[in-house]
Amino acid sequence: MAAQSGDGEKDGAKFVEFIDVEKMYGSFHAVRRLNLDIRRGEFLTFLGPSGSGKTTTLNMLAGFERPSEGMIRLDGQPVERMPPYERNIGMVFQNYALFPHMSVADNVAFPLSVRKIPKSEIGPRVVRALEMVKLAQFKDRKPTQLSGGQQQRVALARALVYEPTLVLMDEPLGALDKKLREHMQIELKQLHEMLGVTVVYVTHDQSEALTMSDRVAIFESGEIAQIGSPDQLYNDPATAFVASFIGENNALDGTVERVNGDECAVMLPDGLKVIAKAVGPLPQGAPVQLAIRPEQIKLAAEVNGHDNRIGATVDGCIYHGDHQRLLARLANGQILTVKIRPEASMAMGEPVDLAWSTGDCRAFPMGTAISGGH
Ligand SMILES: Nc1ncnc2c1ncn2[C@@H]1O[C@H](COP(=O)(O)OP(=O)(O)O)[C@@H](O)[C@H]1O
Ligand SMILES: [Mg+2]
């Protein structure tokens, strides 16, 4: 399918632009000061908790909702006066939204018939779209005669059949069980690579976002807290919210005791001290949240040169096959989760020294209001 119009790299950087977009429902601010560029051909995911504004943002792009303020450009054109059907966007929803009385083939043909594509062209295009999602043999069935996963593939074929340049998917796999969902993630990713179409995908499932996306935008209370590649978000979270939303994280509350360049000494309750990387302005005395991932905490006996060393006792150990999760209780009662080797043996109540590098431990201002997406 010719999903790309080949306008070159420079233009591709801004296939879709949200410029200072706001959405109010009465006095409720659903989307705030949204500035976002979507690149041609990328797989971009909106990830965030329920109610954070993902669907509203997607619907403004699709044309089902109007921004209260600001502007959206699609391929350089303002979309304000463009009705949904003129935007050449394919949509896939969680609930499939197939027509129950029509056959699979007629469902997939529907977007072509309403676009007045000649009948002679429709047949072959429907077959091609159904072959793409491996459902050609079911073309005469009704949707109710298919499984949930198959129905979702019909919905996908229907969204792709008219060769849209942009496909929007709102929690499309949410109704499927885990195994099928993981299978469909791979299929969707392969289709994206094969077609080169731009995909904007909504999910609240972080593992889905991390495995499928070129970039992920983290939504929090109507704003983008951070946008970046999965590994940027995982390794360099900009806020405590992002650190806790992406991947596993130990969060510890403390107070800044001393600042030294981009490092700071943080006092935990009961006088424990930790050196951390300061993210954002952190004046002395400021309350902070420390974030450190389970795999970044080491057993002190097994490493050299980690700046933080802290005593704990074993509070539990859970076997996970390829690793164990050690629950380590600090002197102040706080518990850290630590990923350790599967064969390490740990007895309940045993003392254990933990170590981690300053660079792996981030100090964020407490309760930061998140400022716009970059
Ligand atoms: N039509 C509407 N009228 C009033 N409030 C709405 C409407 N649609 C969404 N909202 C509110 O806007 C917020 C964002 O909703 P939504 O974009 O659907 O979140 P998400 O998709 O991230 O779960 C929610 O608090 C929701 O209740
Ligand atoms: Mg939603």
Instruction: Spell out the per-residue pLDDT of the chain, length 374, in tens.
Output: 434 444 444 555 799 999 999 999 999 999 999 999 999 999 999 999 999 999 999 999 999 999 999 999 999 999 988 888 888 899 998 877 899 999 999 999 999 998 888 999 999 999 999 998 889 999 999 999 999 889 989 999 999 998 899 999 999 988 888 888 898 899 899 989 988 999 999 999 999 999 999 999 999 999 999 999 999 999 999 999 999 999 899 999 999 999 999 999 999 988 899 999 999 889 999 999 999 999 999 999 999 888 899 999 999 999 999 999 999 999 989 999 999 999 988 999 999 999 999 999 999 998 654 433 33
Q: Is 373 in the pocket of ligand 1 (CB under 6 A)?
A: no
DSSP letters, 202-266, are EES-HHHHHHH-SEEEEEETTEEEEEE-HHHHHHS-SSHHHHHHSS--EEEEEEEEEEETTEEEE
Q: Is 50 in the pocket of ligand 1 (CB under 6 A)?
A: yes
Among 223, 240, 257, identify where a domain stops. Answer: 240
Co-location of 54 and 190 in the same domain = yes
Q: Is 52 in the pocket of ligand 1 (CB under 6 A)?
A: yes
Among 218, 240, 262, identify where a domain stops. Answer: 240
Q: What values do phi and psi take at 287, rounded to 5?
A: -75, 135
Neighbouring CB atoms inside 10 A of 19's CB total 16
Q: Is 54 in the pocket of ligand 1 (CB under 6 A)?
A: yes
Co-location of 340 and 195 in the same domain = no
Name the token pair of 196: 């080169």
What is the whole-number distance in angstroms between the Cα of residue 281 and the centre of ligand 1?
32
Residues in contact with 123: Cβ distance below 8 Å, sequence separation at least 6, in sequence order: none
Q: Are 104 and 130 in contact (CB under 8 A)?
A: yes
Co-location of 188 and 304 in the same domain = no
Q: How open is the CA angle 49-52-58, to the nearest 5 degrees? A: 110
Give burial (CB, 10 Å; 0-12/13-18/19+) of 306.
Answer: middle
Co-location of 184 and 332 in the same domain = no
Q: Which atom of ligand 1 is nearest to the CA of 57?
A: 17
Co-location of 214 and 258 in the same domain = no
Choose among 13, 61, 9, 62: nearest CA to 34: 61
What span, in angstroms and rounded, lies between the C-alpha atoms of 289 and 365?
6
CA gyration radius for the chain? Answer: 25
